[in-house]
Each structure stands twice: as structure tokens, then as C-alpha cells.
Amino acid sequence: MTFPLPVAAFEDYMLADDRPAYPMNFFIRMKFSGTIDQQAAEEALREVAKRHPLMTSQIRDRGRRKVRWVRADAAATIPFHSITMEDPSAFPACQGLDIESAGGLVGYRVPSDSGDYLVWHFHHACCDGLGSSLVLEDWLTAYAAIVGVDVREGARRELDENRLRGRGRFGLSFWRFLKKSRKQAVGLLGVRKFLMRRPAPLLPDRVTKIDSELSVPYPVAMTHMFSLSQTRGLRAIAKRSECTVNDVLARDLFLAIDRFRDRLSAGSDEDWIRLSVPVNLRRAADRSLPAANVVSLVFLDRRRPDGQDAAAMLQSIHEEMQLIKTHELGLTFVLSLAVARRLPGGLKKQGDRYRCTATCLFTNPGPVFRRSPLPRDEEHRVAIGDVVLEALDLVAPIRPFTGAAFTLFNYARRQGVTLSYDPRMLTATEAAELLRDYVECVEASL
């Protein structure tokens, strides 16, 4: 019996850091040409709810701590609302999801003259970015089958609900943990740096109290898509530099942040700029795992003078990321959470500290629907009959003092970036300038 299911350490962290002014929620927006069939969409979601039970499960209290997931009844499904908006291209006005009284995923359909927008609102305690992609791939596949569009037979992966019980252990038995302990000792050096350095907010004079009101509107984001030739150029740069595309994009984000802060005379050369970088901890055996959090965080710190030699900065980022992969240092953060949740006050005490932990979030879930069995059009976009998925926005959560989150993704063979931001720290004009700075830094690399 899978449920009730203990809360994993990373999920506990997501719950502890969830607050009314800064919901631990993220969004995926899809722009379709054509009209989505409401009834077929709801039927497909009922199938998705069965395959990914954490999407409709709820957190229940036992004593003083939230310690378990309780599965919803067999008839539970994912809410899917059809709404009209004066500006269909805007996000619906949302509040944080309460997963003690309802599930952790809600969908919205917003019709427009040119097609439908679908907005998916996730609670991060239920799943990470890769898990959400699996949920939506399954929904698209089920929807296609319901409306009579051929889907490659046998291409949809088999899922095993029982694997959810091991989602927070990352395949670590006691003996495997001992074998990895020498590698994790390297991570202690990173922990020391993490604790000793104080990263600067993007704009230090505009920090907002963690107990303030939710920003209005919520969420806010903007996306830029690079061309096919630019996307190919990024791969060529990475190959020539013997690094990854992600390394190049991280380097260029540091350069863009420096440019942006310099223009606004924000901070100083001594400020540590910290990128919080999610890392995937899935193994081959997790291919049958339903959507969940199998992720950790690592942190990249640089100062403004480091950007004076862009090639050297790229090399240093590549070497640091390789060290993280070689020594599996992504485990360091989640193992520290497992320890901290057992200390007096638990993770809630850690989350209530009034300080900046990262300047920006930098996350790259990679290609979207890359292994999907769904048919494509000539531009490699997902096409379900006369309904084509034209564009995406991947909107990461905003945290206190962390005014901006950059989500990198690849759809239809093109590199994209979504900037979600805190309107209490950045105006819409400033956010657009920050995104423009980033795009121009990437284009300068090209």
C-alpha cells in the first residue's frame, strides 16, 4: 500500500518555505492554435490523476508536524477551469495553492481569437519541473487519443506508483551512503563557502518583508525565444569551448546581472552574486516513477570582477559543475535538509531567517517533450489534429530577496528563456531590461 506517504525532506523544505506572500508554486503556460475540447481535456486529466497520484493528494497533520501525503478518493481529478479574460495572453490572477485542503495542480483554459491558452498551476511540494513535464506529456497523449489522433503505440512509459515510496532516498541504502561519504566530504567545502558568503539581492535597496502581501498581479513573467540558428550556435560554442550549453547560459547570466546592476548603480564590486541552480537526481531506475520531486540545489557564486575575462569565467563554471557531477554534490543539499528537519524548529526555523540566500534562480529542465510520442508539424511543434502547441512559458517560483528566476528550456528545437520576477522589487520596464540584457549577452557570445 503506497499511501499514506511520508513527506520527503525536499518536500518538507518546499512546505516550510511556502508563505502567503511567496507561494512555493510554479506555472506552465501553453499557447495553442485551434480550440481545446473542454470535455476531452477533463477526461484526459482524470487519466493523468490516476497515473500521478501526488497531483491530487493532500498534506495531513499528525501531531505538530506535517508528515504524510493522503491520497484523494478514487473519483478525484485535477480541476480544469474555462475562464474568459480581457487579455487572454495574461496570466489568470492566482493565489497560492493550499494542499492541506485540495490538490497541488489546477488547470485553466483561456480562449482567445487566435486559439487557446492553457495555464497549469503547480505546488512545488508535489513535483519538480521535470515531473510537471511528465504530467503534461501524459495529458497531451491522453487528450490526443480521446480526440482520435494517432499516437505511437507503446511509446508512453509505464509508471509504478510504488516507486513513490523511495523518491526521497535517491537509491541510497546505508552501505551505498557510506560509499558516497568520501565524495560528499568535498561538498562540505562548498557548504562552508555557502555559509560564510552573504549573497546580495538583485537590487539591495528594494527587498520586501517575507510576511508582506502577495504581489498583484501574480504571477508575472516574460519569455524570449532564440532562433534556430542561434540555438545551433549555442551548441557550437559549447562544443568549441569543451563545456555545456548550460555552462554558457549560466556565464552569460552572470554577465547580464552585472550589466543590469551597473546601469542602476546597485551594489558594489564586492557583492557576491549567487545563482541557485536545481539539479536533477533521477536515476535510470526512476523512469517508471510518477511525477514527484527528485531534485536538489547547488549554488554558483561570482563577483563582478570575475566577468572581466568571460572565457575564464566560462571555464571556471564548467569546472565547478563538473566537480558537482563527479562527486554527486547535488546530494549535499538534500542530505543537509534531512539533518536540519530533525533539529529544534525544523526546516520552518531555517526558512524564517531574514536574509538573502540567492540573487537569482537559474533552472534548465532542458528539452520539453523531447521523448514524447506525440505527432509534430514541420516546425517540430506538438500537433494534435488542427491544434498546435505554438509556444510555452515556464514560470519558476520567486523567493524572498530573490527578485528574478530564469527558466531555460528547449521547445521545437529552439532555446527559450522565461523570466519570472517579483514586481515588488522590479518594475515591468526593469524586468524587460534585465531580460534584454541577458538576451544581448547570449547574442554577444554567439
What ranges do the domains of the chain cover? 5-165, 174-378+396-445
Q: How far apart are alpha carbons 195 and 215 in whole angstroms?
A: 29
Cα distances from 166 to residues 5, 8, 52, 68, 279, in angstroms, run 10, 9, 15, 14, 18
- CA atoms of 367 and 374, how far apart (whole Å): 14
What is 174-378+396-445's CATH topology? Chloramphenicol Acetyltransferase (3.30.559)
Rounded to the nearest angstrom, the gap between the alpha carbon of residue 374 and the centroid of all alpha carbons in its chain is 23
CB 293 within 8 A of CB 11: yes
**Would you call 214 helix, strand, or coil by DSSP?**
coil
Q: Write out the three cell numbers for 374.
A: 506525440
* The residue to which cell 506517504 is assigned: 5
CA atoms within 13 A on the CB side of 436: 8
CB atoms within 10 A of CB 165: 14
Query: 231 with 415: CB under 8 angstroms?
Result: yes
Which candidate, 356, 109, 321, 102, places its Cα nearest to that of 209?
A: 356
pLDDT in tens, the chain (446 residues): 688 999 999 999 999 999 999 999 999 999 999 999 999 999 999 999 999 999 999 998 755 556 799 998 877 899 999 999 999 999 999 999 999 999 999 999 999 999 999 999 999 999 999 999 999 999 999 999 999 998 876 567 899 999 999 998 876 654 455 455 555 555 556 666 766 789 999 999 887 766 778 988 999 999 999 999 999 999 999 999 999 999 999 999 999 999 999 999 998 999 999 999 999 999 888 999 999 999 999 999 999 999 999 999 999 999 999 999 988 888 889 888 988 888 887 787 665 567 889 999 999 998 999 878 889 999 999 999 999 999 999 999 999 999 999 999 999 999 999 999 999 999 999 999 999 999 999 999 99
Residue-level pLDDT at 174: 44
Q: What secondary structure letter does DSSP report for 216? A: S
- Give SS3 for 158: coil
Length of the chain: 446
CB atoms within 10 A of CB 146: 17
| Three-state secondary-structure class, residue 418 | strand
Taking the model in full, what pTM does it have?
0.94
**In angstroms, what is the C-alpha Rg of the chain?**
21
Q: Strands (DSSP E) along 203-332, which ranges?
A: 221-225, 273-280, 295-302
Q: Which residue has the cell 555545456?
A: 244
Pinpoint the alpha helices (H) of 5-153: 9-16, 38-51, 129-146
Q: Quick one: CA dihedral 441, 309, 270, 186, positive or negative? A: positive
Q: Which CATH number is associated with domain 5-165?
A: 3.30.559.10
**How many Å apart are CA 303 and CA 258, to the nearest integer?**
9
Cell, residue 44:
484526459
At 335 the pLDDT is 86
Name which of 175, 166, 171, 186 is nearest 332 in CA terms. Answer: 186
Q: How far is CA 200 from CA 105, 191, 203, 345, 422, in A?
A: 33, 18, 8, 26, 16
Rounded Cα distance between 99 and 87, Å, is 29
Q: In 3-state terms, what secondary structure has residue 143? A: helix
How far is 270 from 23, CA to CA, in rounded Å?
31
Here the contacts of 320-324 (C-beta below 8 Å, separation 24 or greater) are 321/244, 321/246, 321/247, 321/250, 323/186, 324/279, 324/298
